[in-house]
Structure 1
Amino acid sequence: MVAYLQLLPLLGVLFAGGVHSKTSNVGDTADANNTVGSWDYVPGAYIIEYEQGHENEASLFSTLHTHGLPVSKRMSLSYSLFKGASVQLDAVSLDPQAASTKIASLAPVKNVWPVMRYQNLELGKFASTSGVKRNVGDFSQHVSRAAADSDTGYAPHVLTQVDKLHAEGYTGKGIRVGVIDSGVDYKHPVLGGCFGEGCIVAYGMDLIGPDFNGTNTPVPGPYPYPDCLGHGTHVSGIIAAQKNPLGFIGAAYGATLGMYKALDCGGGSSNDVLMAAFNQAYEDGSDVISISIGIYSGWKEDPLAVTVSRIVDAGVPVVIANGNQGPAVFSSASPGDGAGVMNVASIDNTETPFLGTEAFTSLNSPSGNLTSFAWLPGTPAFPNITLPLWAVTPNTTTDGSSSACSPLSSSAPTDLSDKIVLVQLTGCDDPTIAANLAKNNATYIIYYSSDDDLDDVYSVSTAPSTLGAGMVPLQQATIWLDLLSKGTDVYAKMVDPQSANPGATYFPNNATGGIVSDFSSWGPTWEADVNPHIATPGASILSTYPLNMGAYYVDSGTSMATPLMASIYALIMQARSIKDPKALLSMVSSTAKQTKYRDSYQSILYNDLAPVAQQGAGLAQAYDAIHATTTLSVSSISLNDTDHFVNSTYFTIKNGAKQAVTYSIGHLPSRSRDTFKAGVSSPSQSSNSSSSAATLTFSDTKVTVPAGGSAKITVEVALPQGLTKANLPVYSGYITLNGTNGESLVLPYLGVFGSLSSLQGIDSSNGYIYHSTGHYWQAAPNNDIWTLPYPSVGSQPPNSAAIDFPALYILVTTGVPLIRADIIPLGNTPANTTKVLGVDTAGSFPGFPVQWVFSNIYQIPFNGVTQEGIILPEGNYALSLRALKIFGDANNSDDYYTVQTQSFNIKYNSTAA
């Protein structure tokens, strides 16, 4: 059994039904497009882990009932790494103090956690081109395994050297990849068209059922279908898609895929469902587990992070998305913060795919060699027709533009009925342009956008006389305009969308291709652990999508980078028969390729390397990882913060070659980055960077290691100069090893310049009491009075806008291990008190204490009942808000930062019955 006081930080918010808490980036320039997971608690629901020897579910339920806690089962959680269940109290209005104390004290109970409901867990940025319903072509219902040559030149695979491994015959064959996501449309022909033994999607299950909303009881089923969100099908295609007309292929297209449906149609789930999914994927023999979901945390102690760490410790590697809350430092997601997991950052693709309907062009003749292009049908769409292109140019318009917001000039043909008119869509709307072109008998129009943003391509509307219309990106139109300007005739063979195949055109991304994506979350964790570990392409990725949602989709996020990294693990497993998580992490990390740092807010591309906190070891290089014969004893080094500075460390080089190798050892610093802007208490997305770097000294700068031998290298570190501690800069770099066998390896390190324990965590000006019927941003006057209905024991404030409750507002600006909100009686208030950390308190404010917090906003109404279920007497009170310092001792009052709210008076308009 577990002592209740040990559980209190975890149980603190369990019964706070009135808590409004959201995970948010409270930085000065938050990107509203970033996907941010939010959470709340399911009242009366618990996850219970059994004590060893007490793994009988019926016995537990009977014991709970005997102690006045009748429950119903949400989920059985009986696995080799976790034995327990999630339960729902039959009466959620029970005194929370009594309920939690009784559960924690029972002999069968080892651990207890509140059931948390999550929303927006999928770590995708959402698509740049829509997934509209399309014909998927003349595929058979089941597709055979694809041929390796179908991935020639596919940019994400070229960037990561996956194409080289495909050329050598490595496909991930024989490796089982388990995916936790929103399900998969396994009926998609490119994903095999079937489910079960012998299929590409061969195993898995539905953990939630069709009606799950995060709070009700999950109803598991045998099939991870349908995927009403699309996210899981997209992730699956990145791993296992077979040959298709759009020119991409799965990175481990020979692997066997397992899918565990744990997200509902809105991207929501709960921690008991996710714990079940993680463990079931492990139980079913997955060789690697891929998780593209997360809630922003920054703490490896988060329960989900702890769960995946158990799986890693048991020998199965887990690859997890690091989040899309960049470019703020300390913005990583859980469970990616878990110890030993491979957490993945996103790199921008070097090619941007545009997804649409397929059509063709030929040069100088309508019957010449055809080149495919993608377009979006307008109203009306094109019929089957082949005609030459004619472009509107400044010398054919009366206003000197490439649009037709004014009539065409006399230089234009008077009859354009036998042409497809190419015109820029800018300056006015599409019907106006169509109407002006109709004056020259134009009936077929292809519009193009005025900028290179693919989001600006849409389904156009036209004039009544138009017979066919569509739109293409500026990048496509530029190619045609160049050909036309040189006198080349360009013919377009348009295909009726009802019979056309989907099409994709790939445009070079010369601006940011190969650079870490702006949205990709940064590390480190709040305890200075290295995070992320690696990066792969995750921006503008074309993959499969449910058939009823368009069959294909272009999406961006660390969600997309993660399955590619999991696929690389599968390829390494097949090639090297290595499955140990630590060895795999080291292999991939040491052979990564570092990218340069781009400051998106200043649009500056530096020659300095991107920080380790942004790119980890760098861009994964799968071929180099498989063929390297040198291994390093560690995959990264944390130098911690200045208070706990690691000024001396070491690593070991092992030479697996058949001959001696001499290694030259050096230091390649990366750019440092401030966490805060001056005077701002929350991590900033636009904070300054610097070239200031640590100084590293090695015991040997050149060492010869015999075949099969090893050498220990000691590293002495001196802190960087010229940085401002108050801004909490994160500095980093790479120890380099260049061997005479041609291998080049890196060992990333990072440190925090400043004191993590000095962070206040809660904003001193944003911890106050306000009127629940007023504005949460307006603090109530000191000593204000609230007259409340007399509450019942253990009750929570009713959802009534007519009743004005005193409410607590807290702005949490950074990571905090533990936040207390203790109620302090003032004056002659006759409340019974207990001394907690040196302060006489009448109890905890509902929802507190709360543990492992990250940048949250709390808005909590109070009806006079403490978290412990005690009704406070009438009187005058204040709240002592205490945030435990990072690395602090929860039992030492000196290790807390304290803010006291203004005083408030409670009166009741009735008395106890």
Structure 2
Amino acid sequence: MGALSRGLGGAPIDVPPAVWDLPFPLHPAGLEIDAPGPRTPAASHRCNDEMHATRALLLLGLGLLNGAAALRVRSDGTVEEPVAGGSKTIIVELAKGSNVESVKRKLQEQSAGTTVLKTFESDVFTGLSVETTDNNLESLEALGEAVKAWPMRLVDIPSPERGKTFSSDAAAKEYSLHNYTGVDKVHQAGVYGKGVVVAVVDTGIDYTHPALGAGFGAGHKVVGGYDLVGNGNYPDTPRQPDDDPKDQDGHGTHVAGIIAGKTDRFTGVAPEATLRAYKVFGGGGGGTEEDVLIEAFLMAYKDGVDIITASIGGFVGWSDSAWAVVASRIVDSGIIVTISASNFGVFGPFVASSGSSGKNVIAVASSLASDLSADPFNATFTLNGNTNVSTLAYVPSNKAWNISGMKIVPTSLNTSIADDACQPLPSGTPSLNGSVALVRRGGCDYAVKQANVEALGAKHLLVYNNDDIWVAPYSRGRSSELALIEAKAGKAIVETIAAGGSVVVDFSQKVSHKVGVFNSVGGIPSDFTSWGPLFDLQIKPDVTAPGGDILSTYPDNQWMVLSGTSMACPYVAGVAALYISAYGGRKAHGPSFGREMFQRIVSSGGALPWANDNPFRTYKPVDDKGFFAPVAQVGTGMINAAKVLYSSTRLTFDSFALNDTANFRPQHEIAITNSGKEPVEYSFQLQPTAGIEMFQPYNQFGARNALFKGLLSLEPISLVPRVSMPDPVTVAPGETRNVSFTFAPPTGPGVNASNMPLYSGKVLVTGDNGDSLSVPYLGLAFSLAGEIKNMWRKGSPQFLRRTQQVWTFDLSPTAPGYPFVSMSIEYGSRQVRWDVYESGWTEDRWSYPPVVGENGYVGSATSYANPRVGQVFDPATMQENNTFAFPVEGIVRDTGTIGNYQFWWLGALANGSQIPSGKYRMRFAALRPFVDPKDSASWSVWDLPEITIERAKRNNTRS
């Protein structure tokens, strides 16, 4: 690929100065959900592998996989398995014009085990959510007014780990974030988001923060909103909605500051935009339910907002969940919706999020920040009678320094030495007592350098960087104070002293600002950012924004540095607000505006380099190996606000989802509109990104974590499709021309279908007026159904505890007489079924969907809704009717850490009745990808023997 440009849209950029004085105070707080304890942004990158994995899992929020139990992370960093895969709470869409109250009454009259939780009446979505023990998805979809039923999921945002915070007089920002994204150019044009209303669906907003307007209601920055759940411990306690959406957590306040925060020393993306807060999380940190999110989105829609942003989501991977469908329809009404892509990147491909999977919903990935912050100190350079005082940057290993008037003494005047002070200093070296020692980074641990300068009396050691990644220095067991300064600063100090001059430091002044440090790895993809595509091979994520080490507002007049796609998502919402401020929104452009803005934002993305590791954790530069980051990781790349607002070219397209080889879609089209004043000639070019081979083979012991490789195991390869490109086309002012592209999958000796290769890239559309935009493509160079013939993971499904073929459904904890089933699948399945048939039923009688009373079908099994690994049902503490019914839908793949499900069938069928004694045949099956469910061969069926149920032996009492 050649050298990769980090500039906007591929254009080179000027690297900002290594050190500059920022006109505001700053004291960063630490990363959101990382390792325990406060830390500075640089120091936070010292986390070990286990801590880093925890961060990757938690930064955004851990979602329910299929409605029954939210993912939790234990104190040791491991993930608590979701053990149930279904939901007894279901969302049902009704046909437009349905009488919702009438359906509600009918349901509750006909089904004693069904309770209506919430109703929705909107031109976007009409329906209700129910809790039921005697209905399942299929029976509810059979209602005359029903259109579709979905399992209701729980979506969790864990509270950010509270790091070190600082008061309002330390308000600051990482200055060049806006330089890297083109927002600075928009601000220079005087566009700041005025007149635009952004809905923040999150934990609420601390609207008392001075940077967020210090008030609530008309005339303030936060003009309104609603608390949909209250300040209690929802969802563990009932919802208690009220009119005050004040943040109890901090997450939503941080998001709000990224969008619209403003002080003399801090500027959000759209600081003149107004906000509405929709609080969907309580104070207990237990997550929120999908019907609450739907209600919040519909409320924001009714309130007339221009943009809805939600840094919320969990591992789902399907575009047709209830929340995703509602979000997509709101986009179709003309409102822009941005949702974070989630933070499961450590698991590799196919870990896409929930709401962001919706069509034309902008799923936002994260990159590392382009700049980091550091403490300032003054250095007085004296040479040949001339004196100059400069402000330099340093990051201490521990606390801030408080010394002054001390000279710097370098251990070597050779700034190229690779192992400075890695050996005891030569005899005759002057004492370092009362001086600040200066050594070059590299060659040995910091502790070795400290020991060698301490031997000569040094109590303070400055290490100047060797062009490695800027990371806070770290050592243990040494008495001297340690700090890192930049390579440029160190070299300037050495050169001054080598020429006969001197440098004296002053760390004693209490300053109200920080200085900025250029981040040499800024702009690379964050390793936590979730990869797509969706399980139906639609392209996600869509675009990238800065999400690593982002400073923003925090409750109680504080500021904090957090990381996650949660931080990247509101940045894109802010860019959308800038556009609407300049050109108007859906009121000016109609309902197509939401989709048009999706296309405008996505097409602005600039390529990012390949990276599958965190350089701060490995302490080494990123080896991009000459490849661009895949579309499955970053979408089209870094958002470019200047292109979004000022390109006179508009592209109309659906992202080029090429599918797999068995379902290949070769033909794709782009409509090019020239809204400029002169004709423009457009040319076309393919920009491939890194291909990957996803398949994870079994190791020598016959084991593997998952079907697909994790992030650290992925290696970039060249996988380029064959594409028939159109000739250059000239488009007159005001004209729209369509151009077509014909793709063929990559072939050749390097393409091995059994390795499951994924390829992606972009089609670049370049005008002779300077506009350069792009459209993403992605495909699989193999057949999913052909390679995944068996959905079950090795050793799955299986009966736990007992494998007997006679079940009594005795619920006593000492002798449980019911089946425990453990299950995990290699790839996402639209449906997993547990069906019960009459004795003698055979697979050749399969029909879909099965109907009770026909073809030997008895009914669907149910499962206790809250099973726990290693436990059994206990009638004294558990409710027998706390169940959900099969089938379950939208099951995600097993990642090796997430995706193992457990089901306890206590004897009830989906209609609420108890299965009678007798002989039966069970069918436990998962639907394979891209197949017809009516065909028996489309299912991976667990081969089960005939069973006998003897109800007479049931005993539910304690023994």
Q: Same fold (TM over 0.5)?
A: yes
Q: Residue 19 of structure 1 aligns with which residue?
A: none
Q: Residue 12 of structure 2 aligns with which residue?
A: none
State the SS of the aligned residue for 1:193: coil
Letter of the aligned partner of 1:887 in structure 2?
A: F
Residue 535 of structure 2 is aligned to residue 526 of structure 1: yes
CA distance in 2, matches of 1:895, 1:195: 56
Within the candidate set 334, 356, 361, 2:354 is matched to: 334
Contact 1:319 1:562 in 2 (8 A): yes
Q: Residue 623 of structure 1 aligns with which residue?
A: 642
CA distance in 2, matches of 1:433, 1:116: 54
1:547–1:752 distance in 2 versus 1, CA, 3 Å:
same
Q: Residue 370 of structure 2 aligns with which residue?
A: 350
Q: Report Cα offsets for 1:43-95 as digits up to 9, x if no partner.
A: 754445555445565x6655455445487775554444234454557xxxxxx
Residue 721 of structure 2 is aligned to residue 694 of structure 1: yes
CA distance in 2, matches of 1:306, 1:603: 38
Q: Report Cα offsets for 1:716-771 as digits up to 9, x if no partner.
A: 22321132223332223332333232222323222222223333463253323333
Residue 752 of structure 2 is aligned to residue 737 of structure 1: no
1:303–1:231 distance in 2 versus 1, CA, 3 Å:
same
1:768–1:591 distance in 2 versus 1, CA, 3 Å:
closer
Q: Residue 17 of structure 2 aligns with which residue?
A: none
CA distance in 1, matches of 2:849, 2:672: 51
Within the candidate set 771, 774, 779, 2:800 is matched to: 771
Q: Residue 155 of structure 2 aligns with which residue?
A: 118
Contact 2:373 2:516 in 1 (8 A): yes
Question: C-alpha displacement at 1:868, in angstroms?
Answer: 4.4
Q: Residue 581 of structure 2 aligns with which residue?
A: 574
Contact 2:636 2:774 in 1 (8 A): yes
1:801–1:277 distance in 2 versus 1, CA, 3 Å:
farther
Counterparts of 1:22-421 in structure 2, within 5 Å, are 31-35=53-57, 37-39=62-64, 40-41=67-68, 45-49=89-93, 51-55=95-99, 57=101, 62-67=105-110, 69=112, 74-75=117-118, 77-86=120-129, 96-97=133-134, 112-120=149-157, 131-137=163-169, 154-228=175-249, 230-245=250-265, 248-264=266-282, 266=285, 268-326=287-345, 328-354=348-374, 360-364=377-381, 369=389, 371=391, 373=393, 386-388=404-406, 411=429, 413=431, 416=434
Q: Residue 10 of structure 1 aligns with which residue?
A: none
State the SS of the aligned residue for 2:242: coil
1:241–1:491 distance in 2 versus 1, CA, 3 Å:
farther
1:546–1:410 distance in 2 versus 1, CA, 3 Å:
farther
Letter of the aligned partner of 1:544 in structure 2?
A: T
Letter of the aligned partner of 2:782 in structure 1?
A: G
Contact 1:761 1:816 in 2 (8 A): no
CA distance in 2, matches of 1:704, 1:101: 53
Contact 1:403 1:425 in 2 (8 A): no
State the SS of the aligned residue for 2:134: helix
CA distance in 2, matches of 1:702, 1:690: 30
Moved more, 558-567 or 161-170: 558-567
Structure 2 regions of 5+ residues with no counterpart? 1-50, 70-86, 587-592, 615-620, 699-703, 864-885, 894-898
Question: C-alpha displacement at 1:599, in angstroms?
Answer: 4.8
Within the candidate set 890, 899, 918, 1:852 is matched to: 890
Letter of the aligned partner of 2:724 in structure 1?
A: T
State the SS of the aligned residue for 1:597: coil
Residue 561 of structure 2 is aligned to residue 554 of structure 1: yes
Question: C-alpha displacement at 1:286, in angstroms?
Answer: 1.5
Q: Report Cα offsets for 1:219-278 as digits up to 9, x if no partner.
A: 1222221332x2222222211121354xx5211112112222223453721111111122
Contact 1:761 1:815 in 2 (8 A): no
Letter of the aligned partner of 1:885 in structure 2?
A: R
Q: Normalization by structure 1: what TM-score? A: 0.77
CA distance in 2, matches of 1:697, 1:171: 42
Moved more, 752-761 or 871-880: 871-880
Moved more, 100-109 or 592-601: 100-109
Q: Residue 762 of structure 1 aligns with which residue?
A: 791
Question: C-alpha displacement at 1:111, in angstroms?
Answer: 5.2
Contact 2:364 2:544 in 1 (8 A): yes
Question: C-alpha displacement at 1:171, in angstroms?
Answer: 0.8
Contact 1:585 1:635 in 2 (8 A): no
Within the candidate set 691, 706, 709, 1:684 is matched to: 709
Question: C-alpha displacement at 1:300, in angstroms?
Answer: 0.8
Contact 1:34 1:324 in 2 (8 A): yes
Counterparts of 1:793-872 in structure 2, within 5 Å, are 803=816, 806-823=819-836, 842-847=858-863, 848-855=886-893, 856-872=899-915
Q: Report Cα offsets for 1:322-344 as digits up to 9, x if no partner.
A: 22222622221111110111112
CA distance in 2, matches of 1:828, 1:703: 63
Letter of the aligned partner of 1:272 in structure 2?
A: D
CA distance in 2, matches of 1:437, 1:394: 12
Identity %: 28
1:378–1:330 distance in 2 versus 1, CA, 3 Å:
closer
1:257–1:98 distance in 2 versus 1, CA, 3 Å:
closer
Within the candidate set 526, 541, 548, 1:539 is matched to: 548
1:199–1:817 distance in 2 versus 1, CA, 3 Å:
same
Contact 1:55 1:84 in 2 (8 A): no
| Higher-strand-fraction structure | 1
Contact 1:353 1:554 in 2 (8 A): no
CA distance in 1, matches of 2:441, 2:680: 61
Moved more, 160-169 or 265-274: 265-274
Moved more, 648-657 or 165-174: 648-657
Q: Residue 745 of structure 2 aligns with which residue?
A: 719
Residue 683 of structure 2 is aligned to residue 660 of structure 1: no
Letter of the aligned partner of 1:352 in structure 2?
A: L
1:425–1:658 distance in 2 versus 1, CA, 3 Å:
closer
Letter of the aligned partner of 2:736 in structure 1?
A: S
1:606–1:452 distance in 2 versus 1, CA, 3 Å:
closer
Q: Residue 46 of structure 2 aligns with which residue?
A: none
CA distance in 1, matches of 2:464, 2:607: 37
CA distance in 2, matches of 1:456, 1:569: 35
